[in-house]
Amino acid sequence: MITVVGVKHTEALNKQLRRLILNVKPDVICVELDTFRCRLLRGEVSEEELRFYKGKLPCIYKVMSLFKYKSQVKSCVKREWDVETVLEAAEEINAEVIPIDMDQVLVYKKIEENIPLKEKVRLVLSLFRKLDFYEEHGREEYKEEFSKNFPTLKRWLIDERDRFMAEKIKRLSQEYE
């Protein structure tokens, strides 16, 4: 049986997530991370390897990181809280944690290779806007607006990654029957 738990990254629900994991006691927990970032959070990456990885990150990644940072500051929620909670709870119940996301270097290289200039300009300009569009207009309108203004970002950050993760979950469900 597979249980999918969606987590809003801007809300600290670590107690609820931890309780769920300890109650369900899964053998395997999939996390929305690529392999490198999962290893990084586990403390399995050397400083040299981290420097090399950061050097491979495309410029567009650094721009997108500013959005993540602004969102984190606004919500007062620590980044990666969900994965840290999963890793701790998984260790307690001896569950295997498997990263299922696409390699982030690849994702951002694809974005950088495919994003038109007009969309790049829109992205940079949006850095200077307030982040409360989502709160003011609701999730559906936000998704519609994002899709319209940033089709390349939507394709690679949402559509392609969702497809990749769904396929990986499907394979894992067969492997762990």
Percent of the chain at pLDDT above 90?
58
The pLDDT of residue 7 is 67
* Cα–Cα distance for residue pair 67/55, rounded to 1 Å: 20
Neighbour-count burial of 5, counting CB atoms closer than 10 A to its CB (0-12 exposed, 13-18 middle, 19+ buried)? middle
DSSP, collapsed to helix, strand or coil, labels residue 99 as strand
* pLDDT tops 90 at residue 93: yes
The pLDDT of residue 140 is 80
Q: Which of 40, 38, 9, 150 lies closest to 102 in space, CA to CA?
A: 38
* Cα–Cα distance for residue pair 42/48, rounded to 1 Å: 16
The pLDDT of residue 136 is 60
Q: Give pTM, 2 decimals.
A: 0.84
- The answer to whether the beta carbons of residues 127 and 177 sit under 8 Å apart is no
Q: DSSP label at 167?
A: H
DSSP lists the bridge partners of residue 98 as 30
Quote the Cα angle for 146-64-83, to 5°: 100
* pLDDT tops 60 at residue 67: yes
Please state, rounded to an integer, the average pLDDT across all residues of the chain.
86
* pLDDT tops 70 at residue 58: yes
- The answer to whether the beta carbons of residues 152 and 115 sit under 8 Å apart is yes
* Cα–Cα distance for residue pair 31/167, rounded to 1 Å: 14
- Structural tokens at position 158: 């949402």
DSSP lists the bridge partners of residue 97 as 29
Q: Which of 5-14, 47-56, 92-101 has the lowest mean pLDDT?
A: 5-14
